[in-house]
Amino acid sequence: MKVFMIGGTGLLGSAGARELIARGHEVVSLALPPIPAGAAIPAGMRLELGNAREMGDAELGRLMEGCEAFVFAAGVDERIEGPPPIYELYRTRNIEPMVRLLGIARSKGVRRAVVLGSYFARFDRERPEWRLSERHPYVRSRVDQEEAALSFAADGSMDVSVLEIPYVFGTQEGRAPVWIFLAEYLRKSRLAVFYPRGGTAALTVRQVGQAIAGALERSRGAARYPIGYKNITWTEMLGLMRRGLGLPPLPVAAIPAWAFALFGAALDLGRKARGVEGGLKMAYFARAMASDMYVDPEISRRELGVEGDDLEAAIEDSMRLCAAILDGRKSAIGMAG
């Protein structure tokens, strides 16, 4: 199967490309420059550097010639800040390019597609009392992205699946992990680590790659996959992070949801004073953070063929890279905003 991918040099896209190539598929990728220094780009992947939003339909169509499948592994996440309303940034980075590319892909005979989304969309469906899409622009964008993607499967012309991805651990040389902010916090902690009670589903970068390949090979029609390998408490995760940073264990003091909400309100006010908005309204995110944001790991194993991996080692590796970047021992690029 010949696969066209947007984002093949990213942390997750490159893992998907590597897995697809290992399974005998051909991968053509369009990705934004620069390539992270030292990043292991999958051998055998045909790579074109460019910005899909600035390219014409005909040019993009030529890249898709002969392709049977499409993977959208690009976009921005909740870490991005920008002028309000921040939803417009998400719309122009995560939704509009995907819709355009899916349309071009369909016109070129592509019949299978996978879109990398967020598990917040799943919790928006299943925990309406959290009011996630109502309160958080990032979650609203992921819900809208998912609905737009699955609409391409409505007439049976394409098989489209969305991977609802939780916390992911693993490293890519030259690219800063998303966990830099937690590494800084944990390094400053002395007597205890203060964090909400709760936990999250998690998996490794390698497992996301397996999920991408599994969805392309197995999924039919319109499908949502809340993927995850292990459900882990914040306390367990923070302990592994401290170990990866070379720090001694510390007790984790559970912050009540109301206290986290006050802390979040201060963050939101600080953003407003700077004239920016974040993807998550932290004053309202406390309820989710203090809950168990878990998924059934059997879905990934049974439906997508995701195999076991060493999540604990991936967490520690992620933090070791964070420490090297913070100490100036390694340089890295962040997410394009």
Kindly state the percentage of the chain with pLDDT values over 70.
99
Q: In the predicted model, is pLDDT for residue 335 greater than 90?
A: no
Please state the rounded mean pLDDT for residues 223-252: 98
H or E stretch covering 263 = helix 257-273
Q: What is the mean pLDDT of residues 259-268?
A: 95
Task: Tell me what the mean pLDDT of segment 144-148 comes to.
Answer: 98
Give residue 337's pLDDT. Answer: 46
Helices (H), 151-252: 180-188, 205-218, 234-244
Q: pTM here?
A: 0.96
Q: Does pLDDT of 157 surpass 70?
A: yes
pLDDT reading at 334 higher than 90: no
Per-residue pLDDT at 242 exceeds 50 = yes
* pLDDT, tens digit, 9 for 90 and up, residues 51-108: 999 999 999 999 999 999 999 999 999 999 999 999 999 999 999 999 999 999 999 9
pLDDT on residue 37: 84
DSSP 8-class letter at 179: T
333 pLDDT higher than 90: no
How high does pLDDT run on average in the chain?
Answer: 96
Q: Tell me the backbone φ, ψ of residue 37, rounded to 5 degrees.
A: -60, 125
Q: What is the mean pLDDT of residues 180-206?
A: 97
**Cβ atoms of residues 155 and 303 within 8 Å:** no
CA dist 125 → 28, 116, 133, 142, 228 (Å): 34, 17, 9, 12, 17
| Confidence bin at 40 (pLDDT 50/70/90) | confident
Average pLDDT of span 243-257: 96
Which domains, and CATH codes, for the chain?
Answer: 2-168+201-230+294-309 (3.40.50.720)
Q: Provide mean pLDDT across the span 314-323.
A: 98
pLDDT of residue 299 exceeding 70, the answer is: yes
